Amino acid sequence: MSTDLHTQNLIQMANRIGQFFESMPDHAEALAGAAEHIRKFWEPRMRAQFLQQLDAEAGQALRPFMREAVMAHRARLSEALPPTH
């Protein structure tokens, strides 16, 4: 799988997670839940690549809710990540 295809897949997966949590009535709880889901269930290399792409053009495909969730909880998502080159 190419890096671009892998990145697109990560963005699509994050957007699906966001769609689920976005329907919650408590916005702050929804943001935290979406970010926590990624932290708990994505292995560190996936999270590292995903966070790296947020600032790149590929990150523009991320739904606004999910972007807000990740940006609000980025420090927690960055815990225990492998070094990037």
d(CA 11, CA 60): 9
Residue 84 lies in a domain: no
User: What is the structure's pLDDT at 54?
Assistant: 83
Mean pLDDT of 7-13: 91
Q: Which two tokens stand for residue 79?
A: 């815990």
Q: How many domains does the chain have?
A: 1
Instruction: Give residue-wise pLDDT tens across range 27-74.
Output: 999 999 999 999 999 999 899 889 988 877 767 889 999 999 999 999
The pTM (predicted TM-score) of the whole model is 0.85
pLDDT of 20 above 90: yes
d(CA 3, CA 63): 20
**Cβ-based burial of 47 (10 A; exposed 0-12, middle 13-18, buried ≥19):** buried
d(CA 80, CA 11): 21
CB 61 within 8 A of CB 11: yes
Band (pLDDT 50/70/90 cuts) for residue 1 is very low
Residue 85 lies in a domain: no
Residue 82 lies in a domain: no
Residue 83 lies in a domain: no
Which range marks the domain in which residue 49 is found?
A: 3-77
